[in-house]
Structure 1
């Protein structure tokens, strides 16, 4: 079992998941990652997620965001592809009157999410989904939630987008406001084993309560955290849970791994978004590994099952981000920001997989 391995053994084992750079591959085969998020107030989160996936090694990194956010996110980097396909209630293109907007805003978010809103449905059907569906079809993996916000039209759009992703059976990572959506309507991803949830302590507690799972426990009680996370995974139909905290608890059904890699002494807003991008690239590579996209020298190598490969990919992503954060903190101390972590993602990746230099983890 993977959980009986040491950290060095896990990282050594994960080397076979790293997609090689072969002249026979064409652009896109090492990952076409799509991040859906970003609104007027939050533009950094989708950038960090998409940028992280590219720095780890994805070929193509896309962002679908709200129209106002698009030029801002574009200004951060020319390397990402930005698609302004989402609308919030205040966008003049959707032609809602002030009274209609005010009426919608009076509805509590929790009630609005579960209610039928013909006007919003019409906007989503005509203006949002046609463009997004085309991009979803040619994407390998989707991240939803970073910087999404809680605008009613945006959240209603996200519900429909998640349903489309499920129809296409694409791997789906949920973070931030997408996790809020799941806490209100857990059925949205229930029994979808291709889903990966990345809750922090607060988000985890919110989802646990919605599932009527007891979550009042001491954070130092590791076995209790594992048990509750396992229960959540099963109750949601065997989705993968990456519970963030002092240690990442990575669970799918009965299987779990614990990432205890030393990270930064400082926490910064955006580090979770960096993690979702790293997860996206490595989970996609683990799926390519299981699809035999490249020839794997089986001599002296242990063949991993799909679930083992996916768990190991999550573990490795967590380890890379933690070590990159540690390196950034060593250089910048209290002034460290998420962009500084990104400076060290490539170097950390090389330490793990190119140089055979295993850091003291």
Structure 2
């Protein structure tokens, strides 16, 4: 059982999953990650997720966002590929295709109504969104869904449809932010889909627990109870991986549980969770590459799927927490998420060493 091991032992094990840089690798083999999210009001969240993945070593990193959000996100960095494939209901291109009554009716739909049946929203998605999104999803290995999505009816229905398509493709998916809101409304959304990872913070975890009739741990002082409830949430969802962001991160997959209490930052700012999600995507993607023997792993004791998945999440948590600690030491109360990104590379090297030498 992993929980009986020290943090130092877990980090040593996680080095087996760190993908080396080899001269025979071509662009994309160290990771092709997609972030689906970002609307006109929330552009930072998908950027931080995608940028974090890039800084930690993923080769090709895509953001699929609402059309009006794309120019802003593109302006943050030329290193990420930004695709303006999503639409809010109020987008002029969509609004022009709806009558006044249709627009008002769709705008007033509850989330529960949005999730039911096939309606005008689906027609718009089938015509304007899915053709382009599906082409990109075919090239992506692991997808983060939810950052900066917002609660627009068309966006939420699009999120549902994209999650369904990823499940059909049998690819790993990480649900964060507004995707977790969708999950509280429909807890069957990713039930029994074992390639799913959810990353709730304390408040999101409380909402999910209530939706599944699990006792609340929002103000719980007994940390063992928090761990127990996290394990129960994973079971109730059909053994999906749960990464419970708390004062100590709790990571659960079937019979494996890890707790990470590495020192982080004493200041909390918006975007830190998005940075973590991008890191998780990178390390988890490498764990799948490890399982597929993309590089020579004959010198290591083989790790099982569940163990490698949990360790990958632990490694991501550790590198982000160390970067947060370093950033806080420099910036104190003025710390912002972009400052954490300054230290991701340094934190990575400190934890995993210089693994970037060519191995001929």
Q: Secondary structure at the match of 2:21?
A: coil
For 2:43 and 2:198, the matched residues in 1 are separated by: 21
Aligned residue number for residue 42 of structure 1: 42
Aligned residue number for residue 358 of structure 2: none
- Following superposition, the deviation at residue 96 of structure 1 comes to 1.8
For 2:229 and 2:298, the matched residues in 1 are separated by: 38
Q: What TM-score, normalized by structure 2, do the two folds share? A: 0.96
Q: Secondary structure at the match of 1:188?
A: coil
For 1:212 and 1:34, the matched residues in 2 are separated by: 32
For 1:183 and 1:209, the matched residues in 2 are separated by: 9
**Within 5 A, what are the aligned runs for 1:284-323?**
284-298=285-299, 301-323=300-322
Q: What TM-score, normalized by structure 1, do the two folds share? A: 0.96
For 1:154 and 1:81, the matched residues in 2 are separated by: 20
**Within 5 A, what are the aligned runs for 1:201-350?**
201-216=202-217, 218-298=219-299, 301-350=300-349
Structure 2 unaligned blocks of 5 or more: 356-360
For 1:217 and 1:273, the matched residues in 2 are separated by: 21
Aligned residue number for residue 359 of structure 1: none
Indicate if the aligned counterparts of 1:43 and 1:147 stay in contact, CA closer than 8 A.
Answer: yes
**Within 5 A, what are the aligned runs for 1:14-53?**
14-53=14-53
Q: Secondary structure at the match of 2:213?
A: coil
- Following superposition, the deviation at residue 210 of structure 1 comes to 1.1
For 2:138 and 2:164, the matched residues in 1 are separated by: 13
Aligned residue number for residue 136 of structure 1: 137
Indicate if the aligned counterparts of 2:32 and 2:141 stay in contact, CA closer than 8 A.
Answer: yes
Q: Say whether 1:96 aligns with 2:112.
A: no
Moved runs in structure 1, 4+ residues, more than 6 A? none
> Over residues 92-133 of structure 1, what are the superposed CA-to-partner deviations in whole Å (9 max), with x where a residue is unaligned?
212223332221222222x22332352111001111101000
Indicate if the aligned counterparts of 1:112 and 1:152 stay in contact, CA closer than 8 A.
Answer: no
For 2:343 and 2:304, the matched residues in 1 are separated by: 31
Indicate if the aligned counterparts of 1:213 and 1:228 stay in contact, CA closer than 8 A.
Answer: yes
For 2:246 and 2:4, the matched residues in 1 are separated by: 21
For 1:84 and 1:182, the matched residues in 2 are separated by: 25
- Following superposition, the deviation at residue 218 of structure 1 comes to 4.2
Q: Secondary structure at the match of 2:266?
A: coil
Report how many aligned residue pairs link the two structures: 353
For 2:217 and 2:147, the matched residues in 1 are separated by: 27
Indicate if the aligned counterparts of 2:250 and 2:258 stay in contact, CA closer than 8 A.
Answer: yes
> Over residues 64-83 of structure 1, what are the superposed CA-to-partner deviations in whole Å (9 max), with x where a residue is unaligned?
00000001000000000000
For 1:66 and 1:153, the matched residues in 2 are separated by: 11
Q: Whose RCO is larger (CA < 8 A, sep 6+)?
A: 2
- Following superposition, the deviation at residue 344 of structure 1 comes to 0.2
Q: CA-atom RMSD, angstroms?
A: 1.2
Q: Secondary structure at the match of 1:266?
A: coil
Q: Secondary structure at the match of 1:186?
A: coil
For 1:270 and 1:137, the matched residues in 2 are separated by: 28
- Following superposition, the deviation at residue 355 of structure 1 comes to 4.8
